[in-house]
Chains A and B, each alone.
Chain A
Amino acid sequence: MTEVQEGFSESLGTEDEQRTVVRTQQVKKIYTMGEIEVHALRGVDMEIYTGEYLSIMGPSGSGKSTFFNMVGGLDKPSEGKVYIDEVDVAQLDAYELAWLRCRKIGYIFQSFNLIPVMTALENVTLPMVFAGLTGDEARDKGMELLKKVGLGERYSHKPFELSGGQQQRVAVARALANDPAVVLADEPTANLDLRTGTEIIELLREMNQSSGVTIISATHDHKMLSVSDRVVWVKDGLVERVARREDLDIEVTHVEGE
């Protein structure tokens, strides 16, 4: 463990026991491209606590995305272990993985990734369909979620009829469809302008605080720092630094407006 991580664990000893929702143990990822081995992750130890808002930052090629995929159950480590809710991800078969992604994890993508042939409501309720909810149950819950993200009137609109920010809101609602333990947001604001990006970050913060869902976000966006409980910097396949919001000395400029 690095110095920072050691000090970090000590300070937490004085607080209440927090449950760990995702835990990685010496996770390594090696890609073999012909004769060349690329060490995307070189041994990452990380604990992510229930209900926290964690941002993972790092330059391209730092292993940030690879690490993100690990904690999100999208990839398996070459070495080491990843535990989601104390379940070793590598031990899961295809069905169990699908179940994990359906019920335990919600995903938000940089490019929104809504299904183009479905309305906003149908997009939000699709995970519920997979989870076996009946049509009425799914519809009611879906409408409730859409109202929560401020899109109650646009439930019948297809993605091409919605702006980028609106699509991302639908994506947020969809991510929360089955009351997941973790929401994974991959560069959620990268395709949005300043104002809309701020709105989405605010929305995520709201969801985190009101429902206690853990949010893990991979991002370049420094606006995200002010709403994160902790920030992890990844570089060269290792955790370079972990900091809590209180310890961060970052000024975030607010958008002046109406």
Chain B
Amino acid sequence: MAGIEVAGGKKIILPLSRAVEIAMRSLKIRFGRSLITTSGVVLAIAFLMSVWSSNAIVSSLRDANKSEINLLLQKKGVETGLTDGGAESAEAKARVKEEESKQVWLIGLSLLVCVVGIANAMLMSVTERFREIGTMKCLGALDAFIVKLFLLESTFQGVVGTSAGIVLGFLLTLLLALLDYGGFVFDYFPLADISRSALYALVAGTLLSLVGAMLPAYRAAKMEPVEAMRSDT
């Protein structure tokens, strides 16, 4: 519970359970619009998860070091770190590295776009709810309460969107991998790697949503209660 002691032991509090309840209901009521923001998270995380899954599967197949698998890999143009002759080559390894750095760049960019999208949508939400925020402050809400509410909302959106994105990204990649490499995928399935990736993606997505909401939440908290009195809209 966030509690504040004020002059003589008087408190103003907003119990976490209550804050969570309010945040979730606010999301429900704005479902349509929050769906659009969430879809940004879904897609970005799906992309991230798909790249990680794909890498994990391919690495696993590569490490198997079976000639039939390597053939399939080379047909797909995947860098195996081997020359056509089958021997290891520094050049081929360099190409693998290049591919990886390209991926990092792409993923980084997509995540950035995702954060910007979240920030924008949340900022709009804050602007629309000026009256609600002002009223809460008239009822005695501290700035910290308002920040909490908006961060909670964004985190929920983030967790839901990220989870959906993880599932989507993984399934898509699995499908494509099955098409390309058939049953080998299940023979050499990198369960540990993919589970780890899913966890990382969950953390990443949730963190992104939090970061994206920080500026809007700050703006909301700084709103003056007198805003609730404005008669436009």
A interface with B by C-beta (< 8 Å): 65, 69, 74-75, 94-96, 98-99, 101-103, 107, 109-111, 113, 115-118, 126-127, 129-132, 174, 186-187
Q: In the bound complex, what is the Cα–Cα distance between A197 and B136 (angstroms)?
A: 24
Q: In the bound complex, what is the Cα–Cα distance between A113 and B136 (angstroms)?
A: 9
Q: Select from chain B the residue with minimum beta-carbon distance to A133.
A: B13
The answer to whether A94 and B13 touch (CB under 8 A), given A111-B131, A113-B228, A118-B22, is no
User: Told that A115-B136, A174-B139 touch, could you supply 20 new A-B pairs with CB distance under 8 A?
Assistant: A95-B4, A98-B142, A101-B137, A101-B225, A102-B139, A103-B10, A107-B138, A109-B135, A113-B132, A117-B22, A117-B25, A127-B140, A129-B14, A129-B15, A130-B140, A130-B145, A131-B11, A131-B140, A132-B13, A186-B229
Contacts of B25 in A (CB 8 A): 117-118
Whether the pair A101, B135 counts as a contact (CB closer than 8 A) is no
Q: How close is B31's CB to chain A, nearest CB, in angstroms? A: 12
Q: In the bound complex, what is the Cα–Cα distance between A98 and B138 (angstroms)?
A: 8
Could you write out 7 A-B pairs with CB less than 8 Å apart?
A74-B138, A99-B6, A101-B140, A113-B131, A115-B135, A116-B29, A130-B141
Q: In the bound complex, what is the Cα–Cα distance between A187 and B225 (angstroms)?
A: 16
Contacts of A129 in B (CB 8 A): 13-15, 18
Q: How close is B133's CB to chain A, nearest CB, in angstroms? A: 10
Contacts of A75 in B (CB 8 A): 224, 226
Identify the 10 closest CB pairs spanning chains A and B, nearest first: A102-B140, A117-B25, A113-B135, A107-B138, A130-B140, A74-B226, A127-B139, A95-B6, A99-B6, A101-B140
B195 within 8 A of A: no
Contacts of B7 in A (CB 8 A): 96, 99
Q: How close is B144's CB to chain A, nearest CB, in angstroms? A: 10
Whether the pair B12, A131 counts as a contact (CB closer than 8 A) is yes
Contacts of A111 in B (CB 8 A): 131, 231
B interface with A by C-beta (< 8 Å): 4, 6-7, 10-15, 18, 22, 25-26, 28-29, 131-132, 134-143, 145, 224-226, 228-229, 231
Q: Select from chain A the residue with minimum beta-carbon distance to B28.
A: A117
Contact of B11 among A65, A127, A132 (CB under 8 A): A132
Whether the pair A109, B143 counts as a contact (CB closer than 8 A) is no
Q: Select from chain B the residue with minimum beta-carbon distance to A218.
A: B229
Q: In the bound complex, what is the Cα–Cα distance between A127 and B14 (angstroms)?
A: 10
Q: Select from chain B the residue with minimum beta-carbon distance to A99.
A: B6
Q: Select from chain B the residue with minimum beta-carbon distance to A127.
A: B139
Whether the pair B139, A117 counts as a contact (CB closer than 8 A) is no
Whether the pair B142, A95 counts as a contact (CB closer than 8 A) is yes
Contacts of A98 in B (CB 8 A): 4, 6, 12, 137, 140-142
Interface centre among A75, A116, A129, by most chain B C-beta atoms within 10 angstroms, is A129
Whether the pair B132, A116 counts as a contact (CB closer than 8 A) is yes
The answer to whether A103 and B226 touch (CB under 8 A), given A113-B131, A115-B135, is no
Contacts of B26 in A (CB 8 A): 117
